Amino acid sequence: MFTGIVTAIGRIASARSHGDGLRLRIDAPGFGMDDVALGDSIALQGVCHTVVARDAGGFEVDTSAATLEVTAGLDEGSEVNLEKSLTLADRLGGHLVSGHVDGVGTVTAFDDLGGSWRLEIEMPPDLSRYVARKGSIAVDGVSLTVNAVSGSRFEVNIIPHTRSVTTLRRLVPGSPVNLEVDMTARYLERLVGARE
């Protein structure tokens, strides 16, 4: 479980074949590896992965072909948002994020408003029912508040701090982004469906 509060940006140094997927080496000099152990969960671009090797400068994870088919941004050389899994002693600064991506969206606009940025994303139509104004959504693992929803598009506002410490700063129209909807919406849908 994660909060969507990115703590560092890493870079995928290598992506080599491993089983049906890839073994990724992530260089993460500013991440702090002292408290990372084999088997720990770390989110890369919002995608939960298990640490299979580590050293002072970074770590390795395995990612399956199935994961690669439904996510974006896990290519060799790519910068990735990093977040260690939540502990019971941590502050919940964002919202509860599972690290299980629901779909890949496409950036349709990223407008400089002079002090903040308006990010508009086209989401897969089947996700639109889970996205609500003033609700939460994770974009590439970053917890954000939805400002507006229209059909299968939604808007969020990016403040300068968030833009400077995440990979969101490199987005342009056409960029693919990993989306995870607020899990509360999914549970509510299940509960309502069970009653009917």
Please state the pTM of the whole predicted model. Answer: 0.94
Torsion of CA 152, 120, 71, 22, to 10 degrees: 170
Q: Encode pLDDT of 145-189 as tens digits.
A: 999 999 999 999 999 999 999 999 999 999 999 999 998 887 787
70 lies in the same domain as 108? no
32 lies in the same domain as 77? yes
113 lies in the same domain as 151? yes
Q: Are 40 and 99 in contact (CB under 8 A)?
A: no
What is the residue range of 165's domain? 103-195
Please determine, for residue 114, whether its predicted confidence score (pLDDT) is greater than 90.
yes
Structural domains counted in the chain: 2
Which CATH number does the domain housing residue 185 bear?
Answer: 2.40.30.20
111 lies in the same domain as 190? yes
Cα separations in angstroms, 93 against 43, 47, 71, 136, 155: 16, 19, 25, 12, 20
Q: Encode pLDDT of 60-92 as tens digits.
A: 999 999 999 999 999 999 999 999 999 878 887
What does the pLDDT read at residue 80?
A: 98
Residue 2 lies in a domain: no
68 lies in the same domain as 115? no
Q: Which of 31, 54, 84 is the last residue of a domain?
A: 84
What does the pLDDT read at residue 96?
A: 87
Please determine, for residue 108, whether its predicted confidence score (pLDDT) is greater than 70.
yes
64 lies in the same domain as 109? no
